[in-house]
Amino acid sequence: MTVMAPLAERVLRGEQSAVARALTQVERRAPGTDALLAPLHRAAGRAHVIGVTGPPGSGKSTLVSAMAAEYRGAGRTVGIIAVDPSSVFTGGAILGDRIRMSALAGDPGVFIRSLATRGALGGLARAALDAVTVLDAAGRDVVVLETVGVGQAEVDVVSGAQSVAVVSVPGLGDGVQAIKAGLLEIADVHVVNKSDREGADRTAAELCEMLRLGKRRPGQWNVPIERTAADRGDGVRALIDRFDEHLRWMERVGERERRTRRAAATRIRWAAEELIRDRLRPGTGAFDAAVDEVAAKRDDPASAARRLIGQL
């Protein structure tokens, strides 16, 4: 048995500064992260994890802010992970989601953390889901994961959530086209935000049409289309009721269990890939020997890889 990291104990007690430190460690994948996360993983699983995604300018941050206010009104604590892109060139980022979440500032029942994608280093999905684990273990009732809906990495991120909301807005040309195919499929709830604007009916109708074209099985979750005007809070109450309904449905039909297992499988694979990357690299004896063999044509890459993995 390993002794629990003192930081983990403090996270489990819900101490703000400890949660903040743990999130930094998770984001950097600093040494000791696995040991920190081990007890947190075991404690996590109580929170309702909600993914919110959609095209830039669809009002995700404002919507998340309004959702959090609604949850607070119902006496539930909230954690928010807001993912923003880093510059590919400098690695820098301006993380502006907090500006639109100012109504929440000063309430210890809401913990907001901005996460930059940090360029091509990869592992964004992993860092984001580990961050969710930290907030979950810290006792947050609801954890919201907000990300721009472009690219596979973002789809990976939100697919780690239990309920996924895809946000669209009227007036983005052919509204539905702005939603990438991969996103349409993972939506548990569609949100037409800024629905006080012209064209909201059309956007909702297009979404409805799109959903009707999809294949359906009996007993399947009926993906609803919710209309909100998040800046005024309109429709947000109904939206969080939908999330609750989705959670109850998942529990009733065993879908929550299925998603938990799927997430577990993904995370084991990520951890395994990291272990392999970590062990198999130039500088370790067995690896360098294998490089010599393959370069000299005495062995082939696939066989060498199988042999090395067997030796791990």
Partner 1 sequence: MTAVQEETVAEPIRVMLAKIGLDGHDRGVKVVARTLRDAGMEVIYTGLHRRPEQVVEAAVQEDVDVLGISLLSGAHMPIFKRLFELLGELAEPHRFSIVAGGVMPDEDEAELRKMGVAGVLGQDSTPEAIVAEIRSLVRR
Interface residues toward partner 1, by CB under 8 A: 15-21, 23-24, 28-34, 86-87, 90-96, 98-100, 102, 105-106, 108, 111-114, 116, 118, 121, 274, 277-278, 281
Dihedral class, residue 191 (left if φ above 0, else alpha if ψ from -120 to 50, else beta): beta
Give the three-state DSSP class for 192.
Answer: strand
Largest CA distance in the chain: 70
Closest distance to partner 1 from the beta carbon of 167 (Å): 21
Token pair for 66: 């309004």
Give the closest residue to 259 by CA, choosing from 162, 122, 158, 131.
Answer: 162
In whole angstroms, how far apart are CA 100 and each of 66, 82, 218?
10, 11, 40
Token pair for 90: 């400098």
Give the three-state DSSP class for 214.
Answer: coil
Cβ closest to partner 1, residue 80 vs residue 179:
80
Closest distance to partner 1 from the beta carbon of 137 (Å): 16
Closest distance to partner 1 from the beta carbon of 179 (Å): 28
Closest distance to partner 1 from the beta carbon of 66 (Å): 16
Asked if 47 contacts 63 with a C-beta cutoff of 8 angstroms, the reply is no
Cβ closest to partner 1, residue 99 vs residue 268:
99
In whole angstroms, how far apart are CA 265 and each of 34, 44, 153?
17, 16, 17
How many Cβ atoms from other residues are within 10 Å of residue 250's Cβ?
20
Size of the chain, expressed as the number of residues it contains: 312
Cβ closest to partner 1, residue 118 vs residue 202:
118
Cβ closest to partner 1, residue 108 vs residue 218:
108
Cβ closest to partner 1, residue 111 vs residue 243:
111
Cβ closest to partner 1, residue 21 vs residue 202:
21
Closest distance to partner 1 from the beta carbon of 280 (Å): 11
Residues 164 and 187: their CA atoms lie apart, in Å, by 5
Closest distance to partner 1 from the beta carbon of 210 (Å): 36
Closest distance to partner 1 from the beta carbon of 166 (Å): 26
Residues 28 and 66: their CA atoms lie apart, in Å, by 30
Cβ closest to partner 1, residue 200 vs residue 230:
230
